[in-house]
Each structure stands twice: as C-alpha cells, then as structure tokens.
Amino acid sequence: MKIEKKIPTSQPYLKGNELKYVSSCVKNNWISSQGEFISQFENKFAKYCGCKYGVAVSNGTVALHLALVALGLGRGDEVIVPDLTFVATINAVIYTGATPVLVDVDYKTWNINAELLQGAITKRTKVIIPVHLYGLPCKMDEIMKMAKQHHLFVIEDCAEAHGAKYKGKMVGSFSDISCFSFFGNKIMTTGEGGMCLTNNEDLYKKMHILRDHGKTPGKQYLHEVVGFNYRMTNMQAAVGLAQLEKIDRFLKERDKIAKVYERFLSKNPQIFFQAPRPGVRNVTWLFTILVPKSHRNKLIDFLSKKNIDARPMFIPLHQMPPYTKYISPASKFNDSNKLSEEGLSLPTFIGLKANDIKRVADVINEYFNKI
C-alpha cells in the first residue's frame, strides 16, 4: 500500500519578510525585548484591530493574566469563563486568586451561552471572559450590555479569532482589554507570543509597567508594584510584523480552505459545522466539524492510519481534575459535553492545497460509506 505524505493539523507559513526582519535583529544585536520591531508590531496590530494601544507579551496565557491583574482582580472576585475553551482562559483566572465560574456554551455557535451567563452573575462577579472559539465571534452586543448593567469588566479572549468581525467591528475592540495569542498554530504567529489591546490609557500604562517587572517608567531599578517579566522579544515582534503584512491573505486563504471542506463534506448527513450568525464575519482557525459521538474517535484513528492528523475538540473544563471544584451544583454543561464528544479539527493551514483537502474529505467520506 502506498503511504501518502503526512498532512499535519497545522503549520506556520513564514515565507514573507520573516527571515529578513529577524536577520536584521541578529545583525544589529537587538535580539532581546528592546528594539524597533516591538513598538511597530504593537502599533500596527492595535490599529488593525481598531484599538488604540497594544502591549506585546510572551504568550497568550500571560496576556490574559496581565489583563486580569491590570483590572485589579484577586481573591474573593469571580470571573465568568466558558466551559469549552483552551485551559489558558481559566488558568489565568486561577493565577490571580480569583474564582472562575464556568458557564455552558451554545451547541450551535460553540460560544458562551449568553442567557446562562446572565444567570451566573453574582455580587462577586468582576469580569466576563468571552472566548471567540474557533474563529466565531461571541454575541458581543448582549455581553457588553450585560456587563454595563452589572458594572463588570470584559476581557475578550481572541486567541482563535484574529481578524474576525462582529456587526462590522473587529473582535478585540469591544471590551476593556482583549487578549491575543501568536502561538505557532494560531492564525498569525510569532512562535510564542501574545498581545493585550485596550482603548484605555490608564490600563495601557498599568499593563506596560506590570509587563516589565513593575518598573516605574523613567527610573532605574525603582519598582512600586510587584510585576512580571512578560516581555516579547524583538525577534518575535519581527516575525509578528511580517505575519501581519499578510493577514488579509491568510484570512482569505483560510476561508477558501473552509469552503472547499464544506463543498466536499456538506452532502454527508452525519457531518455538521459551526453555525455562523448574520452580521458576523467569522474566521477559520482550525476547520472543525461535528460527527456522531460514536464515530468521532474512530474517525480520528481512521484518518491517522491514512497519515492525516486530526484533533479532537477541547475537553470541557468542568471534566478535568483541577477545575471540578469550580462547578456550582446548579450548573449543567449539556452542550459543552456534547460538542466535546462530537467535534474534531481537520488540517487547516496556509499552503494546504485543494488536493490535500480533497484527500482528507475522501477519507472521511470513505469512513462513513464503510459503516
């Protein structure tokens, strides 16, 4: 039997100015966290997202932590997070000593269920963290309205949704602070990296200080708060800047990948997709489908035997040992449980050819024809 070449779930595309910009860091000795690329990347990425200020950091997880600390979160406060997300969202809350409160997602959009969110607000609630999961924006108008009514902060977790729009406005521009990840498998990457965006000058200044050991600006070795070393290096920012130059093309090509998958798979009555809503410009992070739960793991194995790398959807947070203590007795997680048993992500990256997508779809259709 002929073994065809392996198709990974994800890989970065670095064929623009990445090498040129990184080489200039090396040639000029600016390889640490000072240098021209940092502020250029911060300014250009903030502008791209329709925000005033950007603070580049070492990864998306610390972006969330920095945002929470800047908003003054700590013990006794509650933070609402969706049950279905990558663990970084809840871990950042736990680092601050605050208590995460898990809310189920909606089966159609895979995003936090706005009605249940309303019911989870208590006197202790300080922050809501909506996550634009798999590139589909949350209902930001409802969430922001709720936050205003109850005097809550909102932090958007945009790690999977660079460039997405909700009702004509970029995700990341709705909330007090928004957090992005530039990990290697995200829509644009700096290897490891992240950024906090805000329109609030005070929060910007706070995050700037906290990112750099709490150092008072303009004074050497004077630290008036306990800060962190969450800085991004100039080399990472150099890669980020080169990636940002290509973001429109990235988004278009990822949309095209999704369309081709849909064309090949939509005739299959066993397969379902994330349901975009009117007025929303979703982006394709990892193209993810739902199949009957009895087939999900078998299908991943079948794909793997044909040298195609597919991933199961996230495991709901409430199911994992470190987080079971945050489940309130009344909460139910029907939708996140179902999605997590049915979802799988298919190879999605720039450079994936229509032929490769056809090969993946053929294997999936072959699986369902056999059973």
Ligand X SMILES: *Cc1c(COP(=O)(O)O)cnc(C)c1O
CB of 182 to ligand X, least distance (A): 7
The C-alpha atoms of residue 61 and residue 280 are separated, in whole angstroms, by 26
Retrieve residue 368's tokens: 């369902």
- Which of 157, 212, 341, 356 is in the footprint of ligand X by CB under 6 A? 157
State the sign of the Cα–Cα–Cα–Cα dihedral 61, 62, 68, 73: positive
In the set 60, 100, 135, 343, which binds ligand X (CB under 6 A)? 60
Q: Enumerate residues 6+ apart whose C-beta is below 8 A from 111.
A: 82, 105, 130, 131, 132, 133, 136, 137, 138, 139
Which token pair is 119? 């019911």
Q: Work out how close the CB of 151 gets to ligand X at its nearest, in angstroms, rounded to a whole number.
A: 25
Q: Which tokens sit at 32?
A: 């640490």
Shortest distance in whole angstroms from residue 105 CB to ligand X = 12
Nearer to ligand X, 89 or 175 (CB): 89
| Residue 64 Cβ vs ligand X, minimum distance, rounded to whole Å | 6
Q: How far is the CB of 158 from ligand X (least distance, A)?
A: 8
Q: From the list 37, 53, 183, 204, which residue makes contact with ligand X (rule: CB under 6 A)?
A: 183
With contact defined as beta carbons under 8 Å apart, do 108 and 102 qualify? Answer: no
Number of residues that bind ligand X (CB under 6 A): 14
Of residues 58 and 173, the one with the C-beta less far from ligand X: 58
**Residue 84 or 363: which CB sits closer to ligand X?**
84
Neighbours of 203 (CB within 10 A): 19
In this complex, which beta carbon is closest to ligand X, that of residue 101 or of residue 131?
131
Site for ligand X in 65-104 (CB under 6 A): 85-86, 88-89
In order, the DSSP letters of 238-306 are HHHHHHHTTHHHHHHHHHHHHHHHHHHHTT-TT-EE----TTEE---SS-EEE--HHHHHHHHHHHHHT
| Binding residue for ligand X, selected from 159, 257, 286, 317, defined by CB under 6 A | 159
- Which is nearer to ligand X, 85 or 113 (by Cβ)? 85
Q: Does 51 bind ligand X (CB under 6 A)?
A: no
Number of neighbouring beta carbons within 10 Å of residue 205: 14
Number of Cβ within a 10 Å radius of residue 343 = 22
- Pairing mode, if any, of strands 78-82 and 53-57? unpaired
Residues 120-149 that bind ligand X (CB under 6 A): 131
The verdict on 181 binding ligand X (CB under 6 A) reads yes
- Interface residue with ligand X among 33, 61, 198, 243 (CB under 6 A) is 61
Q: Which CB atom, from 45 or from 86, has the smaller least distance to ligand X? A: 86
Residue 345 contacts ligand X per CB under 6 A:
no
Among residues 28 and 229, whose Cβ is nearest to ligand X?
229
**Which strands make up the sheet holding 280-281, listed edge to edge?**
169-170, 165-166, 280-281
Binding site for ligand X (CB under 6 A): 59-61, 85-86, 88-89, 131, 157, 159-160, 181, 183, 194
